[in-house]
Amino acid sequence: AGQVLEMPAIITQKDLNSLLSLFSDDTKAIESVAQLFHRTFAKTDHFRVATALSLLIQERAISLTQRFFAFFILFDLYKSEAPGTNPFLPIFLDELQKDLQMCERKFLLNLLCYPPKDLPKKSPKEIIEQSDALTMGTEPDLIAMQEEYLKKMGNISGFLPYGFLSPPHE
């Protein structure tokens, strides 16, 4: 009963439907949906599907609860890599510069800076209901994080710097 989303050729309509079906139950733990993502999509498809996810986030084409799942998957795919090398970090930083609901802002900051062990065990619904209990340390300097990322990654690929929708402020 929802609108049909059209996606560029990054992923097929079948893959998009599979992806969105993972996000259909906002009472599922975020980590269990991430595990389903890993089982549903081959490792060789992860970057392609994650790129589609990042577009859905940027275009506001998915609901708030679906955004929690999407952001966690983008985080989870690269959590074992060196800090600051996640190719989707620009999406996190750009979204944090927008006017977000406080529960989403706290969630993103916790993922980026203070990843609590119990956060992935919660569902988006629980995170929204308990957002007052989510602690945030000192808010990081997002511009400094963005500049550091560009410095680290800028020479590796022409794609990466373009993940930022707005240039760093001087």
Residue 8 forms part of a structural domain: no
Residue 108 forms part of a structural domain: yes
Q: Any idea what DSSP says for residue 131?
A: G
Which residues, other chains included, contact 141 with Cβ-Cβ below 8 Å and sequence gap of 6+?
none
Residue 71 forms part of a structural domain: yes
Separation of alpha carbons 122 and 125, rounded Å? 8
| pLDDT bracket for residue 112 (50, 70, 90) | confident
**pLDDT tens figures, 4-53:** 666 556 889 999 999 999 999 999 999 999 999 999 999 999 999 999 99
Question: What total number of domains does the chain contain?
Answer: 1
Residue 124 forms part of a structural domain: yes
Average pLDDT of span 93-98: 88
Separation of alpha carbons 57 and 46, rounded Å? 16
Which two tokens mark 72? 């966690």
Residue 3 forms part of a structural domain: no
Residue type (1 letter), 128: I
Residue 6 forms part of a structural domain: no
In this structure, are residues 30 and 67 in contact, taking their beta carbons and an 8 Å threshold? no
Which residues, other chains included, contact 7 with Cβ-Cβ below 8 Å and sequence gap of 6+?
13, 16, 52, 55, 56
**pLDDT tens figures, 115-130:** 767 889 999 999 888 8
Q: Tell me what pLDDT residue 140 has.
A: 64
Domain range enclosing 86: 13-163
Q: Tell me what pLDDT residue 132 has.
A: 72
| pLDDT bracket for residue 85 (50, 70, 90) | confident
Residue 62 forms part of a structural domain: yes
54-58, 62-66, 94-98: segment of lowest average pLDDT: 94-98
Q: Tell me what pLDDT residue 96 has.
A: 87
Q: Tell me what pLDDT residue 9 has.
A: 67
Residue 168 forms part of a structural domain: no
Show the CA angle centred on residue 161, arms to residues 139 and 52, nearest 5°: 90
